[in-house]
Amino acid sequence: MSAPTQPNDIVENFTTQDQDGNTVSLADHVASPVVLFFYPRADTSGCTIEACGFRDTFTQLRKAGVVVLGISRDTVKAQKKFAVKYDLQYPLLADPDEKICDYFGVIKPKNMYGKLVKGIERTTYLIAPADSEGKQRLLHVWPKVKPEGHAEAVLNHVKNAG
């Protein structure tokens, strides 16, 4: 499976657990557009800004028919703590084995305090509802996201595209 990087690329189904331990699959959301945002680590400064931005735009995104899913390499327990602390009302998906992150190609080398480490490059995907063949396709990608104002930019894109 190659990473979906361009509009109209097929996005393969994936399955993992959310912050409550529920099994969540992309295929659960074939009838709606999905905003899937990858963030490096729960409860860190930039990730908190981004996640709270989606919290604050969540009602408007839902009114537009969009499903919001956040995802990182954190555990179910860490995602739960993050969701509760900031009252995040959308699923936070746990990908501690990095399978989903690897599929989307968001694990990149980063320089942290002079040391090369691998981490998630903050990236957001807008995925279309399933087509007549049951395939979900990429509509838009926001690479190298800056957390401030990002959720509002996604909301504006969704409103203007609809």
Among candidates 75, 52, 8, 85, which has minimal Cα distance to 152?
52
- HSE at residue 15, side-chain half, CA atoms within 13 A, is 4
52 as an active site residue: the answer is: no
Please say whether the beta carbons of 55 and 77 come within 8 A. no
Cα–Cα distance, 160 to 154 (Å, whole number): 10
Number of H helices, E strands in the chain: 4, 10
Which member of 47, 76, 101, 139 is catalytic?
47
Among candidates 73, 68, 23, which has minimal Cα distance to 50?
68
Q: Which residues pair with 107 in a beta bridge?
A: 120
Q: Which residues are catalytic?
A: 47
